[in-house]
Structures are given as structure tokens and as C-alpha cells.
A and B are shown apart, each in its own frame.
Chain A
Amino acid sequence: MAPTPIGFQLINLLAAILLLLAFAMLAQRRVVSLIDLFAWQGAVLAASTAVVAYTTAQPHLYASTILTVLLKVLALPWLLYRMVKRLDVHWEFETLINIPATMLIGIVLVVFSFSLTLPVSELASTVTHATLGIALASVMLSFLMMITRRKAIPQVIGFLAMENGLFFAATSATYGMPMVVELGIALDVLVAVLILGVFFFQIREQFDSLDLRHLERLKEGD
């Protein structure tokens, strides 16, 4: 089942691109560009799934490639674009921590992820050597993006990017989860975005903005 050397190289290359895209999202200030980056991340994910499917001869991974393309390259970015358009939120937005500092924290997170997965990577077959660390790193970077952004839509894109990182962990480290689980996860993600769409309109109706600073009334003490 070990992939061919070229497939192995390709997966590593795609993993590196995935990590770069995660950093790019961390630095991106425009909502529309952020959605583009998210769609690209989905495309890289689909490509890597296809490569794993081909090199390891796992036919069910082709199905999950198609699922990824449909959901993460087409459906979700389209839904997000539509939301941005209807809510009219193209503006640039400020972050809680400035971008260079965020990038530095990001690098620390990558190092942390690699050291955390080191004992697991040593057990893994060749294909998963570095990819599990990269997957965890991109999860952590998306996490960081959610923490540092104040507006609702970037936070949601961070949430979805985190799901991408997890999905990459599943395909590269384990040759894909069973199909029924993958379908369930895809359904959850889709429903989550639809519910959030409804939710954005509720927030806007209430506050006339999607700035989450309005959502800071509830405190631990009272």
C-alpha cells in the first residue's frame, strides 16, 4: 500500500502548499480574498486526496475527492460569497493582534504541532511522516485566525479552514475515514454554514453590523 515515490513527493508538496495557504489566510485582511484562499485550500485538499487515492489504490477516496470539490471548492465558497454580497461586508477589517505578531505566533504553533505529532509520525508509513504535523499545524493556524478576528465571517472561514486541516489529517494519515463518516461530517459542515447564514442575518438585524464587539455583554461573574 505504500505510495510510489512520485506520489509521495506530490503529497508532501501539496501539504506544504496547504500550510502556506493557512499562513496566507492568517495575513489576509479582505473578506473576498479570504474566501478565495479558502476555495484554494479546498482545491489543494481535493488534489491531495486524489493523489492518495491513485497511489494507494483506494477507490473510495475518489468519492471523497468529488465530495471535497463539490462542497469545499464550489458550494461553501459560493454560499459565503452570496452572504458577503447580501450582507455587504467587503471592507477591510482590523485584527486583535497585528499581522506580523500573528505570523510569529503562527510559527510557534507550527513548531509545537510538529513536536506534538513527532511520536506518532515515527510510527507512520512513509506518506504520513510529515503530513500529520502539517495537518495539526493548519488546524492550529485556523484556530489562531478565529481568535484574532473580530468579525463574524472571518471567524467562520477560520472554522471551515480548521475542518479542512482535519480532513487533510484524515486522508493523509489514515487513507480516509470510512465513507459513511465522511458523508456525515460533510453534512454537518454544510448544515453549519446554512445555520450560520440565518444567524448572520439575525445578528445584523439586531446590531446593524457583524462586528462581534457587540457580542460582549455576557460576563462570567453575572
Chain B
Amino acid sequence: MIAIEIEIALVLALPVGAAAVLALAGHRRHAPEVNIAASLCTLAAAAALTLHVMRAGPMLAFGRQFLVDPLNVFLVALTAFVAFTTAVFSRPYMRIEEEHGRLSAAKLRLYHSMFQLFVFAMLLALVTNNVGILWVAMEAATLTTVLLVSLYRTPEGLEAAWKYFILCGVGIAQALFGTILLYFAAERVLGAGGDALLWTALEGVRGQLEPTVLALAFVFLLVGYGTKAGLVPLHNWLPDAHAEGPAPVSAVLSGLLLNVALYAVVRCKVLVDGALPAAFAHRLMMGFGLVSVVVAALLLARQRDIKRLFAYSSIEHMGIVTFAFGIGGPIANFAALLHMTVHSLTKSALFFTAGHAAQKAGTQMIDGIRGLVTINPLVGWGLVLGTLAILGVPPFGVFASEFLILTTAMHEQPWATPFLLAALGIAFAAMFSRVQPMVFGDTTASRLPLRPAMLPVFAHLALVLMLGLWIPPALAEWYRQAARLIG
């Protein structure tokens, strides 16, 4: 039991310590390396924690305030991994931005320290057992990234950050009201005090919680955390925030924060399922998910900015995952968890590549980016392969998860399948027709002052490819356990 507490403490303390060091020391020559080293240590601690939970099963720590079980430890490992590769990517990326005169030392200091705090907020949201602290950590994750979205201080960047702050702030306030209602219901069973917000305690008595209160609470929680996950019609902030910040920030917002927000929804769903007929939460989630998939696919066709294109694709994929959790059952949940993993890896790789492509062309506009392969084949091929992967072309992992979700939908919710298929088809046509001319043909790109960091991109894509061909048995078992937890 001691080891688990040390591991959790390390996972949380390392990013905070790194943030303090990076903020206090200012932007020195080796700040990017410190950022990478700290992220690597966090990843090592997260890996140790993960192995421990795989061996010993779910565990509580620090007087039941923290919980690690297959569901969250899998996201802890994913978050720490993508945070590490993003740190690796951001070293050359941010240096190029500095040489292009878009960033100063003060801004880089803000970037490095806020990046670490953001990672901390997400990890705290994942490992806490307290539904109230989950809310606090989600709000903290927004706050740490607001100033990163406006890092370039362009008019568009400021607008995006303002929208992000206000819309997510309002959204998440709904989630707080939902949490209060949840506490209100729990207090009648568990009594006042700290226990009544502990997820494990709530889960233990979920059958006794007042159904009317829980139904209302879940609507508020879904709307609140759904805003953060970018579900339509609450998605308005997402494309702006993802497009205007620097590429590493877009990558972690899209690849990690959306997952954490969905995780919060799923945790709440488990509680509601016990108190209400299962169809209630499931129908709501399927509805939100399907609308998000369809609307995002239609909007994809209208995008002219490369990062906005990928941002709308994130909305689409969050919709797919929400829909799959809405179907429920072991197979759909398994597919949803797999989809969260592969989307997170692929989408962050795409934002890395899009960042470099925009640096080469000197613009984020799709019309201005042409013929990437001729100047730098790696960036060009990274973009093509990443796009094919996210569009669900076999043998990439996205295909595997989407295929599972579609076949389950055909069995259990046949009415939804045509919508899903049509949306996936539209998304394919829209994205591929935009990416293809960016990569091939006459070029407008120029050479970069430094070598682009394509290693993280290909590492992510290789993992996605592997997950499409072969899921390691240990990982599959772990997904199965998590899927059972969700129910």
C-alpha cells in the first residue's frame, strides 16, 4: 500500500515541481530540456503506477481521496505518454517559432510552466476519487490553457482564448450545479461530510440515490463536461481554441483534455446507471454523440484552415466515442476506450505535423500550403499517413475501433448506422480532398531553420498502426476490465 501512495504522489508532484522550477528560473537555454526530462519522469511514474494496478487491481490511497482502477490508470498512462512526446516535439517547434520572431523568452517561460501545470490538472482530474475535486481539476485545466491559447497575442488568438474561457467557464458551471445535486442526493444516504462526494462511496450506494435528483444532476453534468469535450451544440469554442494556439497546445488540448472531459462524463454515467433505468443516460449520450458526429462532418467540408479542419475532426471523433459509450455493454465500451486511445495518438501527431506544415508555408490556410513532399518528404508523408489513419483507413487502429463501434451499432441501434456511415463518408471526402493538394503538386513551402521534429509523429503513427493490427493481450485485458467497470 505504501508504494501506491508514493507512485500517485510522484505522478502529481513531478509536474507541479517542474512548473515551479520552469516559472522561477525563467526561460534559460535548457528550459525545453528540463520540460522534456520532467515529462519523462512523470511518464516513468505513471508507467510504474499502471503496472502496479495491472498486477494488483483497483486501489484507494490517502484516506480514500485517490482512486486508481483500470479505467483511469489507462488514461493516466496515455496522458503522461502524449505529454512527453509533446514536450519532445515542442523543443524544435518552439525554437523555430522563436526564430520566426513570434515568441519571446517571457512567453516561452509562460508556455513551459503552464504546460506542466496543465498536465498536473489533467492527472489530478483522473486519479481523484472525489467528484468535487474532479470538477476543480477540470476548471484548473481550462485556466492553465487560456493564456496558452492567446500566446501569440494576435486578435484571433485573443478572441479564441476569450471564447474558450467564457464558454467553458459557463459550461463547467453547469457541471458544478450537477455535482451539487449529486451531493444533495448522496447526503441523504451517506450523511453530510467528505464521504458523500467520494466516487467509490457513491458507487456503493448508487441504487439508493434518489432517481429524480440524479436524472437532473446527470443532465447538468453531461452539458457541463460535454462542453469541455466539445459535443455539438456546445462545441463553439473548440475549433477556435485549437486553431489559434501553438501546435503543441492544440495537440494536448485535442489529444488529452477532450479525453479527460469524457472520462468525467463516463464516471458520472456509472453512478446514474445504478439509480435510473439504464436507458436514460444512454439515450442522452447516444443523442449528443450522433448529433456531434453528423454536424462536425458537415462542417468539415467548409474549413479553410488546416488546424480548424483537424479540430472539427476531433469533435466528430468525440461524438463517436460518446455514442459508443451511449450504446454501452462490454464491446461498445471496449471500442470506445480503444477509440479514445487511437484518436488521442493520431490527432496529436496530426497537430504536430500541421504545426510544421504551417511553419513551412508561413500560413495556416489550406490554400497557402502546397506540395509539402517536395521540400520535406517526412512532413508531407506524416500528414498523408496521419490523415489516412484518422479517417479510419485500414490497417490503422482507428479502423479497428470504428469497425467495432459500427458493427455493435448495427446490432443494437440499427437506426443510427446510416447516419454514422454517411458522416464518416462525408468526413473522408472533405478531409482527404483538402489534404491531398497540400502534400502533392507544386510547392509553396520553404526550408525551416531547424530540422522538424517528426520522430514523435511517426512514433504515434506506429503505435496506432500496431493497435490496428495487434492489440497486446495485456492491453486488451485492461480495456476489458475498464469496459466492465463502465457497464
**Chain A interface residues (CB < 8 Å from chain B):** 58, 116-117, 119-120, 123-124, 136, 139, 143, 146, 152, 155, 159, 162-163, 166, 169-170, 173-181, 184-185, 187-188, 191-192, 195-196, 198-199, 202-203, 205-207, 212, 214-218, 220-222
A163 and B162 contact, Cβ closer than 8 Å, known pairs A120-B212, A195-B143: no
Q: Determine if A206 and B166 form an interchain contact, defined as CB atoms under 8 angstroms apart.
A: no
Interface string of B177-201 (1 = CB under 8 A from A): 1001101100110001110110000
Tell me whether A184 and B212 are in contact (CB under 8 A): no
B146:A199 contact, CB within 8 angstroms: yes
Q: How far is the CA of A214 from the CA of B210 in the complex (A)?
A: 47
**Do B304 and A203 touch (CB < 8 A)?**
no
Give the chain B neighbours of A203 by CB distance below 8 A. Answer: 158, 162
CB-defined contacts of B163 to chain A, threshold 8 Å: 215, 218
Let me know if B192 and A146 touch, CB within 8 A. Answer: no
Taking a contact as CB atoms under 8 Å apart, the answer to whether B184 and A195 are in contact is: no
Size of interface on B: residues with Cβ below 8 Å to A? 53
22 contacts between A and B (CB under 8 A): A58-B192, A119-B213, A119-B216, A123-B212, A124-B184, A136-B177, A159-B173, A166-B180, A174-B184, A174-B187, A175-B192, A177-B183, A180-B130, A185-B135, A185-B136, A188-B136, A192-B169, A199-B158, A199-B165, A216-B159, A217-B155, A221-B302
Chain A residues contacting B197 (CB-CB under 8 Å) are 177-178, 181
Chain B neighbourhood of A116, CB < 8 A = 216
Residues B307-355 near A (CB distance < 8 A): 308
B173:A218 contact, CB within 8 angstroms: no
Across the interface, which residues of B come within 8 angstroms of A175, CB to CB?
Answer: 187, 192
For B213, list chain A residues within 8 Å (CB).
119-120, 123
Are B177 and A207 in contact, CB atoms less than 8 angstroms apart? no
Q: Which residues on the A side are within 8 Å of B166 (C-beta)?
A: 146, 155, 159
User: Which 8 pairs across A and B sit closest by C-beta, in order of nearness?
Assistant: A181-B132, A184-B136, A215-B159, A178-B194, A119-B212, A188-B139, A221-B302, A218-B240
Query: Which label, helix, strand, loop or mixed, suits the secondary structure of the A interface?
Result: helix
> A143 and B158 in contact (CB under 8 A), knowing A166-B177, A199-B165?
no
Supply 17 further A-B pairs (C-beta < 8 A) apart from A199-B147, A215-B158: A116-B216, A120-B181, A123-B213, A162-B173, A166-B177, A169-B180, A178-B194, A179-B194, A181-B130, A185-B135, A191-B140, A195-B146, A196-B165, A203-B162, A205-B153, A206-B154, A218-B159
- Report whether over half of chain B's contact residues are helix, strand or loop; otherwise say mixed: helix
The answer for the CA separation of A124 and B187 in the assembled complex, in Å, is 11
Bound form: Cα–Cα A217–B243 in Å: 13
For B130, the chain A residues whose CB sits under 8 A away are: 178, 180-181
Report if A159-B147 is in contact (Cβ < 8 Å); known contacts: A199-B165, A207-B155: no
User: When the two chains form their complex, are residues B169 and A212 in contact, meaning their CB atoms are under 8 A apart?
Assistant: no
Establish whether residues A202 and B158, one from each chain, have CB atoms under 8 Å apart when the complex forms. yes
Whether A163 contacts B212 by the Cβ 8 Å rule is no
Complex CA distance for A175 and B213, rounded to whole angstroms: 17
CA distance A65 to B403 in the complex (A): 54
Q: How many angstroms from the CA of A177 to the CA of B186 in the assembled complex?
A: 11
B-side contacts of A218, CB under 8 Å? 156, 159-160, 163, 239-240, 244
B236 at the interface (CB under 8 A from A): yes
Q: With A116-B216, A192-B143, A206-B153 as given contacts, are A163 and B173 in contact (CB-CB < 8 Å)?
A: yes
Most-contacted residue by chain B among A58, A124, A177 (CB, 10 A): A177
